[in-house]
């Protein structure tokens, strides 16, 4: 988890909702260089049902203080069952959205005998329809010397990278699960470069899957991002 957040970071909590959540013009807060956002993808139904990933949260990274949209699978006509496998990647839930955090159909796994298991992921998808692009930056064995840390990434370096047009260029590799406990942790040394439709560059890092203090329900996703100039 990155710990170099500025004390002046803007915080927007997007809770489970079945309606558009937009700040009024009077409530507009200018975007600070580094911004922290919280998106509650998980919904706690209580009892044996537990947590499901029924929300999808849309963000316009260029205007986070003005608009963020939260949709629930059971209540909103604009809810999209995104599918990388079936190329279902479009949504009109929010004008000019760049990033949506959601549960989605990733790919089909053939179990044999005519049985197909639909593998799902919970993570980030980008708006390829408006030209948003992204790239995962990760530190792996063999690339340690070439790896640029989140705090050191600058505009010149980001602009030199070849970004991806894949809808799941962000995806879900920023977290990993312990199969014994079912608990998620944030993958170390993984972050993303995102170029929006307005040709503005950002670096974005996920910091929690359980809220700011680590004690919220599973799926309460926190990420920090900073525009590169």
Q: Which residue has the tokens 């629930």?
A: 72
3 state SS of 202: strand
pLDDT tens-place string over residues 147-170: 999 999 999 999 999 999 999 999
CA distances from 10 to 3, 37, 99, 191 (A): 15, 8, 18, 19
Residue 91 per-residue DSSP state:
-
Residue among 106, 77, 105, 107 nearest 92 (CA)? 77
pLDDT tens-place string over residues 102-161: 999 999 999 999 999 999 999 999 999 999 999 999 998 888 889 999 999 999 999 999
**Helix ranges (DSSP H) in the chain:** 155-159
Measure CA of the first residue to CA of the last residue in the chain; give whole Å.
24
pLDDT reported for residue 11? 36
CB atoms within 10 A of CB 171: 20
How much is the pTM?
0.83
- The residues pairing with 137 across neighbouring beta strands, listed in sequence order, are 191
pLDDT tens-place string over residues 36-59: 889 999 999 887 778 999 999 999
C-alpha neighbours within 13 Å on the C-beta side of residue 21: 20
Residue among 41, 38, 33, 36 nearest 3 (CA)? 36
């Amino acid at each position: 988890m990155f710990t170099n957040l500025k004390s002046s970071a803007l915080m927007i909590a997007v809770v489970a909702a079945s309606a558009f959540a937009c700040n009024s013009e009077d409530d507009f807060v200018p975007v600070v260089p580094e911004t922290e956002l919280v998106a509650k993808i998980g919904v706690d139904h209580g009892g044996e049902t537990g947590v499901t990933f029924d929300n999808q949260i849309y963000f316009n990274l260029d205007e986070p203080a003005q608009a963020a949209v939260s949709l629930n699978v059971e209540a909103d006509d604009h809810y999209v069952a995104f599918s990388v496998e079936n190329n279902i990647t479009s949504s009109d839930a929010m004008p000019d959205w760049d990033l949506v955090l959601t549960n989605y159909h990733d790919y089909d796994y053939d179990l044999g005998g005519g049985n197909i298991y639909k593998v799902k992921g919970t993570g980030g998808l980008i708006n390829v329809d408006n030209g948003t692009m992204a790239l995962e930056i990760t530190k792996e064995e063999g690339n340690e010397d070439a790896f640029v840390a989140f705090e050191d990434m600058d505009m010149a370096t980001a602009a030199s990278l070849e970004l991806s047009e894949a809808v799941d260029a962000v995806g879900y590799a920023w977290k990993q699960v312990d199969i014994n406990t079912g608990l998620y942790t944030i993958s170390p040394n993984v972050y993303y470069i995102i170029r929006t439709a307005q040709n503005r560059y950002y670096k974005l890092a996920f910091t929690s899957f359980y809220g700011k203090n680590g004690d919220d329900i599973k799926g309460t996703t926190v990420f920090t991002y900073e525009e590169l100039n």
